Amino acid sequence: MPKVKTPQFSSGPEISKALPSIFDRYGETLSLELRSALHNKDNQVEEPLRYHMGWNGESGEQLTTPEGQGKVLRPTLCLFACEALGGEWRSALPVAVALELIHNFSLVHDDIQDGDTERRHRRTVWVIWGQPKAIIAGVGMHCLAYLTARSRAHDFPSETKVLRASRLLVESSLAMIEGQCRDLHFEQKLDIGLNEYLDMVRLKTGALIQCSLEAGALMATDKSSYIAAFSLYGSHLGRLFQIRDDILGIWGIQKETGKPSGNDIHRRKKSFPIVFALERSSLAHRNRLMHLYKKESFIDSDIEEVLDILDKSGARKHAHKIITQEARLALGQLDGVPLSVTIRRDAQELLDFLIVRNF
């Protein structure tokens, strides 16, 4: 079985890459299925959700060209895993759509919890409709996710797989919520270890990505070792994805990320680079960083000082190193699975994109 080359990562200038081909392969079908899940134009809960998905404007008007749409990473991973193991990828569509709805429910609530006023270059739901309605809209999307999966049960390979996939969705949702609770708790403390942080990432970001690949594999095969391999592949992908997000949250460019540069520092978010610097910096730099993060408000010189401490600690370089390690470990999980050369190339292309994505 041919092995895929180990991903290479430069800590120098970063390159923005186009979405991998698998996103094109499933994109049109996923778009139609997602719109079908949010089809009730008379439902007041769905109005802000259609806006959040990029289909409607702030006044409810349908947009000719969608705005601010996400990458639909999780449903794409689900369909890819199903196809990779020889399944008919359309049989995994109910789970894939449910995964995207669950993910977007979490984004609507994240924006409220973080006080973010902009996402994907558009005003966030809570800014337009207020926090109470945004909370209700997010809960509604969460409910629609499970309803979508169950209402399309006839598309599943078997009733047993309906139950297993449903359980996976619930368990991963609970894990994601637990991870979010831990992340919020981290905002109140500075003594966070790297292992503690990575365990939070495993839940908050990794759970749903892991579920995406495990559920897709489940739709294609009964072989437990293959399902487990894709599940572990997803676990490493989740850590890689979040650490890359953490890099973008500090050093990303607003026109690409849709959020202000240095946004995570302004919010004093304990992301990977900050946790690394607090754990590995010199005593003087660690104390200074702790002092800065205890301030009620930041001025521009504070931001510059935090960036300087991060630079001296090697936080960004170490984050790149961990991303490369996670990519290598992710691909290694698939070594024992009989996959076509095309599928392995797709897996490599996906990792190449996730390693250097700028949005």
The count of residues in the chain is 359
CA nearest to 238, candidates 354, 317, 347: 354
CA nearest to 166, candidates 150, 188, 185: 150
| Residue extents of the structural domains in the chain | 21-356
Task: Express each pLDDT in 53-111 by its tens digit.
Answer: 999 999 999 999 998 888 999 999 999 999 999 999 999 999 999 999 999 999 999 99
Q: How far apart are CA 148 and CA 97, in angstroms?
A: 7
* Confidence band, pLDDT 50/70/90 cuts, at residue 153: low
* Confidence band, pLDDT 50/70/90 cuts, at residue 41: low
Q: How far apart are CA 66 and CA 34, in angstroms?
A: 13
Residue 118 has phi, psi (to 5 degrees) of -140, 140
For the chain, how big is the Rg over CA atoms in Å? Answer: 20
Task: Write down the number of H helices and E strands in the chain.
Answer: 17, 2
Residue 15 scores a pLDDT above 70: no
Residue 158 scores a pLDDT above 70: yes
Residue 122 scores a pLDDT above 60: yes
Q: Comparing 24-28, 108-112, 117-121, 304-308, which segment has the lowest mean pLDDT?
A: 117-121
Q: Assign residue 351 a region (left: φ > 0; alpha: ψ between -120 and 50; beta: otherwise).
A: alpha
What's 21-356's CATH class?
Answer: mainly alpha
In this prediction, residues 129-134 reach a mean pLDDT of: 98
Task: Express each pLDDT in 318-348 by its tens digit.
Answer: 999 999 999 999 999 999 999 999 999 999 9
Task: Express each pLDDT in 180-214 by its tens digit.
Answer: 999 999 988 999 999 999 999 999 999 999 999 99
pTM for this model (two decimals)? 0.91
